[in-house]
Amino acid sequence: MRLLAAFFALVALALPSATGAGDSFTVYAAASLTEVFPKIDPSPRYSFAGSDQLALQMRQGAPADVYAAASPKYPQLLYHDGLVGKPITFARNKLVVIVPSSNPAQINSVYDLRRSGVKVVIGDSGVPVGSYTRQLLDALGITDAVMRNVVSQETDVKGIVGKVALGEADAGFVYRTDARPVATRVTMIAIPDWAQPPIRYQVAVVSSTARRREARTFIRKVLSKRGRLKLRRAGFGLPRRR
């Protein structure tokens, strides 16, 4: 029963989630912000998922007041189309490789993922973590060798974390901040800084919102000294203050 409970708890990491009061304004945010945003402001109704999924839902008319993504790509496209206000960069991140604590494949370096038989999980190419991973592999010159070992491409970073933590894969590429909450179940392997893609998070007010004041207040909280402290404690890097 304990193993079953642990399984469902970890699977929940892989699913889009909504939290907060039902009558509050709604924040659509990248899955990698699941732990930190409610600490900055517990009042909104949050919907956490892949940045690309959330952008598509907004284009299809899903109600949201604030949009926060793990890449500038989708906020900038939405801004270009008039669906959000001007995006603001509020955080940075880095990629790491995670392996199960038992490390059955004996992975000690990102280059070990080239070995035949290693089971690797990455993000889908449309989600930021998947796009960043491909940039990283290209920079390291190991794309073909690692991609041959990919057994699953997940729609958000929580899906990658869940599969590795459950031992369904030998390794996965995730954000550094997503490895920290499951530190007892996985081991984090650093990746050379010179190969890291620039990972920037952006936030914007949704143009159609009827709750513009609350949306702007939320963004001010994210950019505030307290918000930046929460982000830093969660492992995010910070851009220079404006």
10-residue mean pLDDT series, the chain (242 residues)? 45 44 80 96 96 96 96 97 97 97 96 97 95 97 97 94 96 96 94 96 96 96 97 94 64
| pTM for this model (two decimals) | 0.88
b/e code 218-240 from CB counts within 10 Å (16+ = b):
bbebbbeeebbebbeebbbeeee
pLDDT of residue 8: 40
The full set of domain ranges for the chain reads: 2-92+200-233, 93-195
Architecture in CATH of 93-195: 3-Layer(aba) Sandwich (3.40)
Q: Which CATH number fits domain 2-92+200-233: 3.40.50.10890, 3.40.190.10, 3.40.50.11540, 3.90.1150.180?
A: 3.40.190.10
pLDDT of residue 242: 60
Burial class of residue 143, CB neighbours in 10 A (0-12, 13-18, 19+):
middle
pLDDT of residue 17: 46
